[in-house]
Amino acid sequence: MTRPDAPPGAVRQGSLREWNLAVVLGRIAAADRPPSRAELAAGTGLTRATVSAVVEDLLAGRLVAEAEPTPRTGAGRPSRGLVLATDGPAGLGLEVNVDYLAACVVDLAGRVRHHTVHRADLRPLSPAEALARLADLAAHARADASRAGLTLAGAALAVPGLVDDAGLVRLAPNLGWRDVPVPALLGGKAPLTAHVDGIAPLVVDNEANLAALGELHAGPAGRPSFLHISGEVGIGAGIVLDGALFRGARGWSGEIGHIPIRPDGPPCRCGGRGCLETYTGQEAILAAAGLAGADLPADTATTRLAELAGAGDPAALRALAGAGTALGVAVAGVVNLLDLDTVVLGGGYAPLAPWLRPPVLTEISRRVLTAAWSPVVVRPAALGAAAAAVGGAGSVVRRILARPGGWLARPG
Amino acid sequence: MTRPDAPPGAVRQGSLREWNLAVVLGRIAAADRPPSRAELAAGTGLTRATVSAVVEDLLAGRLVAEAEPTPRTGAGRPSRGLVLATDGPAGLGLEVNVDYLAACVVDLAGRVRHHTVHRADLRPLSPAEALARLADLAAHARADASRAGLTLAGAALAVPGLVDDAGLVRLAPNLGWRDVPVPALLGGKAPLTAHVDGIAPLVVDNEANLAALGELHAGPAGRPSFLHISGEVGIGAGIVLDGALFRGARGWSGEIGHIPIRPDGPPCRCGGRGCLETYTGQEAILAAAGLAGADLPADTATTRLAELAGAGDPAALRALAGAGTALGVAVAGVVNLLDLDTVVLGGGYAPLAPWLRPPVLTEISRRVLTAAWSPVVVRPAALGAAAAAVGGAGSVVRRILARPGGWLARPG
DNA sequence: CGCTATTTGTTCAGTGGTTGAATTATTTGG
DNA sequence: CCAAATAATTCAACCACTGAACAAATAGCG
């Protein structure tokens, strides 16, 4: 059942050590309390001698550190717990969205060590201007990280749109961007991050994908499968299957907004009819709640809607119930198809979760065959607003954890 | 982008060789013409010395053989091409379905070396009786394989229903089975297959899953993503993502039949309303075509429907157009969500593909955002009726190819 | 026919990394 | 203060890969 796929590449001599570095580091990262070398040996099946040698490399490379000795536990020589270093490599997470910019730094242990959000309507700005502002935030984050002894090993930028492999933003409708070569505009002058073999200096990715990754790493260890729905102007989803983000054949998975709800429903700007977005998109919900004309920034309008619903406003409640039912119909189909056990309401849906959750659950229990056996969890996202930036930064450090060889081999 | 997941297990000394055995074997399996040791060395990055040593192990273990020397090619010592052995391990594939039993043997190279189909209405029989008959087919297949010099290394049984990890058939509605302990009933007396470390002697799996695996292995090499739809009485789907079958959080993925098409459509036996199955299930299509009362076996009825449609019968054509449109609506949602590039019409849909394909394509082009960029292929299944048995047998040999160590370490 | 160029496959000393057992280090308990 | 217990390190042995030299087998050419 595990890894039925053919091995991708050959294994050369040194790969052995590289692999075991990753194994031991992964165990340290996944442990709930600092493990000793002996426990690592027992857990991995390696000998204590090997674990000692591996750990020595990791200590020298500032990837792990020895924890403070614990008070006392039993007889024998006390163990020295190992923890992920908090003064080694870190990831830089960036986000451009319609009404804010964000930058954050996440260390190896997954802790957010720096976080700045710059609120502003980005739509009037050109991509170059917006990215120049973002570069300022990034420089500030970099300086802050440096003061804390952290080295930025890579960066990930979240964009609300379709991105290709080279970091070209094909289309970000709500920003009004089209074919924007982000890496050239952002990293133009000096490189943002230190060069680390195997880590891309800047990855540009869809906001929904990175937010889903953030949710993945914020949650418990394991290999969960869930759907993370980002309800913004458009509705995007990040799909995590067996603990890995699934990007699709061309990297464009997650277009849940255009799942048909009623084949002959209202026309959608995608050309189809009755797509989910026409029922549950931000504009549709606000219009149904009577907030259409207000022309507030998206963020404010959602907050307003939540306030109205909390106060019992009938139009707001009706709008949210209708949206939740449509969302539930779509989600039920997805859960039936993929057998997911968790659905996360993120982005603009997170603050509306108290009102969206019940109708979604109703549709799931009505339509999902296996819901009776084992229930489906529907919950708001654990990470807050700028989840995508945190998720992006986290994806950088996760890659270092998965392949520490590149970091250890660096000149510095 | 490759393997961002943490390494699952530690790497001990001997794993190195084991891994390289799999790498070299995988290259031999994927090559379009028998590769030489030198070509393998160049392709894998290993030294010729290492490849020679690895190949020696594979030859000794009857996993590969040296091909007949080719006429002539150029200067230098002639190379000795390597091919997968056709007298080594093989997989046994079995299938229980509503109106037939099947058994087949597939060798390492993926060739079907034995295939028996026993047509009979299985519904009147008890599970024990049906499985006793299947055991006869299996014994015959085993004897035939033995005569050909093949050793059965494992078996896979396809069942049209929900199966749990232990091989217990929770529910197979069309067979009328519930909580049937298949392994105990089938393998009761003597083991079907030789014991091979790392290969389960008998895997019981959903028919749609194994049929999708068959389609995966019958297709070109690579890591494709596609949806394989088995249209029988119920509609199941096998989901292949990045070249691997996706089973879902609990192993129950693929319930495409209960994707909502119209939230307020006709009631479905699942308890929901307007599920795909109520539009495109075999019963629904036959009823719409006016073949409902005939009470033919499912297989015959489908053939009849294809004949009528081929002769231009208006009711049949109308029924198929309607079914295809509903199917297309569901498929469009799936393709939007998962960014698949291929949809395979299998099972009972394969013979109906000429009529189902056009409306499905219409809905996709109308509703899938990225269809304009890069088209979605909709095609009938390459494997015929008993695709699931072949797929199951193939999954056994694929596992040997992926982890040859277990086979090589066997006592015999 | 014999020689050279060329490519394949094997042999062998060398090396990196793991193994297993012995050894050292550090604490608790009597 | 010593024995028991557990943690971590040291070291010779071993396994698998590396690199280079070597043997094998063929085509081309005079």
Average pLDDT for A324-337: 95
In this prediction, residue B187 carries a pLDDT of: 74
pLDDT of residue B195: 92
Q: Do A252 and B329 touch (CB under 8 A)?
A: no
Interatomic separation, CA of residue B128 and C1' of nucleotide D10, rounded (Å): 62
| pLDDT for residue B9 | 61
Among A193, A259, A187, A96, residue whose Cα is nearest residue A400: A193
Residues A227, A333 within the same domain: yes
Instruction: Give the chain B residue nearest A236 (alpha carbons).
Output: B337
Mean pLDDT on A63-72: 85
Interchain contact, B7 vs A16, CB within 8 Å: no
| Chain A residues near residue B334 by CB distance under 8 angstroms | 337
**Is residue A8 included in any domain, yes or no?**
no
One domain, residues A206 and A186: yes
Note the pLDDT tens digit of each residue in A6-49.
335 667 777 889 999 999 999 999 998 999 999 999 999 899 99
Q: Report pLDDT for B343.
A: 97
Percent of chain A with pLDDT over 90: 70
Are A226 and A322 contained in the same domain? yes
Residue B3: per-residue pLDDT = 28
B348 and B376 share one domain = yes
| Amino acid type, A258 | H
Domain annotation covers residue B358: yes
List the single protein residue with the shortest CA to C1' distance from D20. Answer: B49
List % helix, strand, coil for chain A (3-state, nearest 5): 40, 20, 40
Closest of A402, A393, A319, A371 to residue A158, by C-alpha:
A393
HEC profile of A217-279: HHCCCCCCCEEEEEECCCEEEEEEECCEEECCCCCCCCCHHHCECCCCCCECCCCCECECHHH
Residues at the strand D interface (Cβ < 7 Å): A 11-13, 36-39, 48-49, 52-53, 55-56, 74-80; B 13-14, 16-17, 20, 45-50, 53-54, 69, 72, 74-78
Q: Are B397 and B106 in contact (CB under 8 A)?
A: yes
Q: In CATH, what number is assigned to the domain containing residue A48?
A: 1.10.10.10
Q: Which of residues 1-30 of B touch strand C (CB under 7 A)?
A: 11-13
Residue A366 to residues A70, A325, A328, B34, B45, Cα–Cα distance (Å): 51, 11, 10, 55, 55
Decide if B276 is inside a domain: yes
pLDDT in tens, A140-193: 999 999 999 999 999 999 998 889 888 999 888 888 999 999 999 997 666 788
pLDDT digits (tens, 9 = 90+) for A385-410: 789 999 999 999 999 999 999 999 88
* CA–CA min distance B178, chain A (Å): 15
Q: Is the CB of B38 under 7 A from strand C?
A: yes
Q: How confident is the model at residue A5 (pLDDT cuts 50, 70, 90)?
A: very low
Among B9, B259, B271, beta carbon nearest to A337:
B259
Using the 3D structure, point to which of A84, A115, A144 is the last residue of a domain. A84
**Mean local confidence (pLDDT), B255-266:** 91
Are the beta carbons of A5 and B223 separated by less than 8 Å?
yes
Question: Do B266 and B374 have their domain in common?
Answer: yes
Q: What single letter denotes the amino acid at residue B211?
A: A
Query: What b/e sequence results for A362-396 when a residue is b if at least 16 CB atoms lie within 10 Å of its CB, and e otherwise?
Result: ebbbbbbbbbeeeebebebbebebbbbbbbbbbbb
Choose among B262, B270, B369: nearest Cβ to A255.
B369
Nearest to A337 among B15, B30, B255 (CB): B255
Region A61-68: what's the mean pLDDT?
Answer: 94
Distance B41 CA to C10 C1' (A): 14
Residue of A nearest to B10 (CA): A44
- pLDDT, residue A189, reads 61
Q: What's the number of domains chain B is made of? A: 3
Per-residue confidence band for A362, with pLDDT thresholds at 50, 70 and 90:
very high
B36 touches strand C (CB under 7 A): yes
- What is the predicted pLDDT for the residue at B1? 28
Do B10 and A20 make contact, defined as CB atoms within 8 angstroms?
Answer: yes
Is strand C less than 7 A from the beta carbon of B44? no
Q: Is the CB of A367 under 7 A from strand C?
A: no
A29–B7 C-beta distance less than 8 A? no
pLDDT in tens, B330-370: 999 999 999 999 999 998 899 999 999 999 999 999 999 88
In this complex, do B401 and A366 lie within 8 Å of one another by their Cβ atoms?
no
CA of A187 to C1' of C24 (A): 53
Q: Which helix (H) or strand (E) holds A335?
A: helix A314-338
User: With 90 as the cut, is the pLDDT of residue A78 above it?
Assistant: no
Q: Mean of the pLDDT values across residues A260-288?
A: 90
| Mean pLDDT computed over every residue of chain B | 90
pLDDT attached to residue B18:
92
Longest dimension (CA), chain B: 74
Measured between beta carbons, which residues in chain B are less than 8 angstroms from residue A401? Answer: 6
Q: How confident is the model at residue A209 (pLDDT cuts 50, 70, 90)?
A: very high
The proportion of chain B whose per-residue pLDDT surpasses 90, expressed as a percent, equals 71
**Closest by alpha carbon to B261, among A116, A11, A332?**
A332
Main-chain dihedrals φ then ψ at residue B234, nearest 5 degrees: -95, 170
DSSP secondary structure, A84-148, as one string: E-SSSEEEEEEEE-SSEEEEEEEETTS-EEEEEEEE---TTS-HHHHHHHHHHHHHHHHHHHHHT
Query: Beta partners for B112?
Result: B106
Q: Percentage of chain B with pLDDT > 70?
A: 94
A95-148 pLDDT per residue, tens:
999 889 999 999 999 999 999 999 998 989 999 999 999 999 999 999 999 999
pLDDT for position B93: 97
Q: Verify whether the Cβ–Cβ distance A340 to B249 is below 8 Å.
A: yes
CA distance B258 to chain A (A): 7
Burial of A289 (0-12, 13-18, 19+ CB in 10 A): buried
In a domain, B35, yes or no: yes
Alpha-carbon span B298 to B13, nearest angstrom: 55
CB distance A270–B12 less than 8 Å? no
Q: With an 8 Å Cβ cutoff, are A241 and B237 in contact?
A: no
Report CB contact under 8 Å: B16, A11: yes
Name the CA radius of gyration of chain A, rounded.
Answer: 23
Show residues of chain A in contact with B9, CB under 8 Å.
23, 44-45
| Domain boundary, last residue among B84, B105, B138 | B84
| pLDDT tens, position by position, B364-378 | 999 998 888 789 999
Task: Calculate the angstrom distance between C1' of C15 and CA of B283.
Answer: 69
Phi-psi map region of A342: left, alpha, beta (phi>0 left; psi -120 to 50 alpha): beta
**Does the distance separating the beta carbons of A333 and B260 come in below 8 Å?**
yes
pLDDT score of B13 more than 90: no
Give the pLDDT of residue B5: 30
Nucleotide nearest A77 (Cα, C1'): C26
Domain end marker among A49, A84, A119: A84
Strands A151-159, A202-206: parallel, antiparallel or unpaired by DSSP? parallel
Specify whether A236 is located in the same domain as A338: yes
Q: Is the pLDDT of residue A1 over 60?
A: no
Quote the pLDDT of residue A25: 95
Look at B367 and A224 and tell me if their CB atoms are within 8 Å: no
Taking CA atoms, B110 is separated from B148, B212, B270, B392, in Å, by 15, 15, 38, 11
- Whether the pLDDT of residue B129 is over 50: the answer is yes
Counted across chains A and B, CB pairs separated by less than 8 A come out at 214
Domain with A155, as residue range(s), is: 89-212+388-408
Q: What is the CATH number of the domain that holds B253?
A: 3.30.420.40
Are residue B307 and residue B275 in the same domain, yes or no?
yes
From the alpha carbon of B11, which nucleotide's C1' atom is closest?
C18
Residue A227 makes CB contacts below 8 A (sequence gap 6+) with A237, A238, A239, A240, A256, A331, A334, A335, A338, A340, A342, A343, A344
pLDDT tens digits, one per residue of B190-213:
678 899 998 999 999 999 999 999
DSSP annotation of A158 reads E
Do A328 and A260 fall into the same domain?
yes
> Per-residue confidence at B217, pLDDT binned at 50, 70, 90?
very high
The three-class DSSP label of residue A394 is helix
Residue B7 within a domain:
no
A244 and A319 together in one domain: yes
For residue A300, what pLDDT is reported? 79
Same domain, B243 and B363: yes
Q: Distance from residue B84 (CA) to nucleotide D28 (C1'), in Å?
A: 34
Q: Is A2 a member of any domain?
A: no
Q: Considering the domain boundaries, does residue B187 fall inside one?
A: yes
Q: Provide, in whole angstroms, the distance separating residue B13's CA from nucleotide D6's C1'.
A: 26
- Claim to verify: residue B70 and residue B203 sit in the same structural domain: no
Cβ proximity of A408 and A63 under 8 Å: yes
A18: closest chain B residue by CA: B11
Query: Are A277 and A326 spatial neighbours (Cβ–Cβ below 8 Å)?
Result: no
Question: Which of A2, A11, A205 to mutate to probe the B interface, most B CBs <10 Å?
Answer: A11
Nearest to B7 among A19, A340, A399 (CB): A19
Do B393 and B272 lie in one domain? The reply is no
Angle, CA A351 vertex, CA A346 and CA A356 arms, to 5°: 80
Give the pLDDT band of residue A68 (cuts 50, 70, 90).
confident
Residue B311 has pLDDT above 60, yes or no: yes
Residue of B nearest to A241 (CA): B248
Q: Residue A63 has what DSSP assignment? A: S
In angstroms, the Cα distances linking A4 to A342, B213, B311, B387, B399 are 25, 11, 45, 19, 6
What are the CA-CA distances from residue B335 to residues A119, A376, B241, B338, B377 (Å)? Answer: 35, 23, 12, 5, 11
Query: Residue B3 and residue A6: Cβ atoms within 8 Å?
Result: no
- The answer to whether the C-beta of A72 is closer than 7 A to strand C is yes
On the question of pLDDT at B19 being above 60, the answer is yes
DSSP collapsed to 3 states, chain B = CCCCCCCCCCCCCCHHHHHHHHHHHHHHHHCCCCCCHHHHHHHHCCCHHHHHHHHHHHHHCCCEEECCCCCCCCCCCCCCCEEECCCCEEEEEEEECCCEEEEEEEECCCCEEEEEEEECCCCCCCHHHHHHHHHHHHHHHHHHHHHCCCEEEEEEEEECCEECCCCEEEEECCCCEEEEEHHHHHCCCCCCCCCCCCCCCEEEEEHHHHHHHHHHHHCCCCCCCEEEEEECCCEEEEEEECCEEECCCCCCCCCHHHCECCCCCCECCCCCECECHHHHCHHHHHHHCCCHHHCCCHHHHHHHHHHHHHCCCHHHHHHHHHHHHHHHHHHHHHHHHHCCCEEEEEECCHHHHHHHHHHHHHHHHHHCHHHCCCCCEEEECCCCCCHHHHHHHHHHHHHHHHCCHHHHCCCC
CA–C1' distance B85–C9 (Å)?
Answer: 21
CA distance B31 to chain A (A): 13
For tokens 């749990």, name the residue.
B164
Nearest nucleotide by C1' position to the A15 CA atom? C17
Q: Which residues of chain B lie closer than 8 angstroms to A2, CB-CB?
A: 8
Residue B2 covered by a domain? no
